[in-house]
Amino acid sequence: MATKKPKTNAPVNDKINQLEQHTENSDQQFMTTDHGVRISDDQNSLKAGTRGATLMEDFIFREKMTHFDHERIPERIVHARGSGAHGIFELYKPLPHLTRAGFLNNTSKPTPVFARFSTVQGSRGSTDLARDVRGFAVKFYTDEGNFDLVGNNMPVFFIQDAMKFPDLVHAVKPEPDNEMPQAASAHDTFWDFISLMPESTHMIMWLMSDRAIPRSYRMIEGFGVHTFRLVNEKGKAHFVKFHWKPLLGVHSVAWDEAQKISGKDPDYHRRDLWDSIEKGAFPQWELGLQIVKEEDEHKFEFDLLDPTKIIPEEIVPVERIGRLTLNKNPDNFFAETEQVAFHVGNVVPGIDFTNDPLMQGRLFSYTDTQLIRLGGPNFHEIPINRSILPVHNNQRDGFMRQQINKGKVSYNPNSIANGCPFQAGRMQGGFTSYAEKIDGHKIRERSDSFRDHFSQAKLFYNSQSVPEQQHIVDAFSFELGKVTIPEIRQRMINILTLVDKGLAAKSGGEIRIACY
């Protein structure tokens, strides 16, 4: 009996063959979306003008960021290893000329807070003393809703546009073929990326400095990184950068000291924070503001919307307006520290955003991340995330729903519930976005004012003492000495020559000694 020849689907087989051939010819690959659409620009999000807001229609950015935000379950993709504490914020003096935010105008009532400190790169099981950026996030439970000041212990960031954030984190994380190294930037993929991204130069100087190995969480500065807006009752806006200044001062440890501490106690920073609070030696910081008038937005040599730049304090002093005191450890690490959900978009009336393209991307990314990490849209009902105010809206159901809503109505407008819940006008404390004028073409491009990548990196290096400069040289020598591809090392040294030729020469010379 003759065997029937199996049926084939020629078009499908041809498509598979084409895909296999295309995969093999990797040097001919074009970048595409997950649906095969070729991408013309993977460097910039779609904005309303070069300095305008990021547009929701940017399906390329949203697809890329959504995929990135959902890559890990359930550990945070970044800032996985953290430590937190409860406390209070006390205002020194009202600020009605700057903002209508209630907690920044009431000196008689402290605002309860929860703060979380963290490393960026490593997993939950990594060491506290890794060379890394430290997260410094504070949730204010105000009488007008929650305000999250989500920052770092360094005032700038690696990238200018949120489109590049997944690439940055992919590059700095353990390499995907062998899952090494853990909580470390001293490897090929990170420096390959950095050496091709000149905008990262300023941040790299901070990362290679002593600021990347703090002595204690109690001894780090905090920065909101972005330029925000404060808006007063009259609708007048000022640009603002937020600072946390530790009352114990800023202290670090040397690299060899960090290695010894990590070997003996990888929980060193966690333990230090916990023990200090238990003993009553409460950590304290002062909240400081750098204020810039709207009419002065363009008077600087850098762009206020560029997150890789600082406003030097010699130009705009930091005004200290209040004190943060952490005075209570969590009762349960998982329920509080692990489940706390911060979001740059959690603002209250009187605090608003700018068109910083990194900030604009974070406004989307944080909610998207919490949805997968905390199981659904009701993460705001977890006690540590819950507002101290009653919540009234038409959101219903979803995983882990706790609020029990009575009645028929879950829509607006309605007459069955007499129109409730009502929209709050501005005079009733309703949030109204700052009426910024927008005039620009939809475009994937970066403003020319974002193109200077080396001036502030040079400024930072020159501000360091001689021993601190040597520590930076040692850090570059160690990190680049772990890079196995010579072209990447040379490319990075070439970038360093644009910061300081002496730094480049010393770093490159010590690398050669280490390699040979």
| Beta pairing class for 228-231 and 237-246 | antiparallel
SS3 132: coil
Could you tell me which residues come within 8 angstroms of residue 429 by beta carbon, excluding any fewer than 6 positions away? 144, 349
3-state helix, strand, coil in the chain (%, to 5): 35, 15, 50
Identity of the amino acid at 406 = K
- Residue linked to tokens 């360091």: 464
- Decide if 484 contacts 447 (C-beta within 8 A): no
Query: Tokens representing 78?
Result: 């970044």
Catalytic residue flag (residue 471): no
SS3 370: helix
Q: In three state form, how does the secondary structure of 393-450 look?
A: CCCCCCCCCCCCCCCCCCCCCCCCCCCCCCCCCHHHCCCCCCCCCCCCCEECCCCHHH
Which position among 44, 146, 152, 346 bears the catalytic label?
152
Which position among 79, 187, 202, 453 bears the catalytic label?
79
- Residue linked to tokens 């853990």: 182
* Cα end-to-end span (Å), the chain: 72
SS3 25: coil
Run of H or E residues at 249: none
Catalytic residue flag (residue 79): yes
Q: In three state form, how does the secondary structure of 135-177 look?
A: EEEEEEEEECEEEEEEEECCCCCCCCCHHHHHHHHHHHCCECC
* CA 475-478-479 angle, 5° bins: 80
For the annotated catalytic residues, the residue numbers are 79, 152
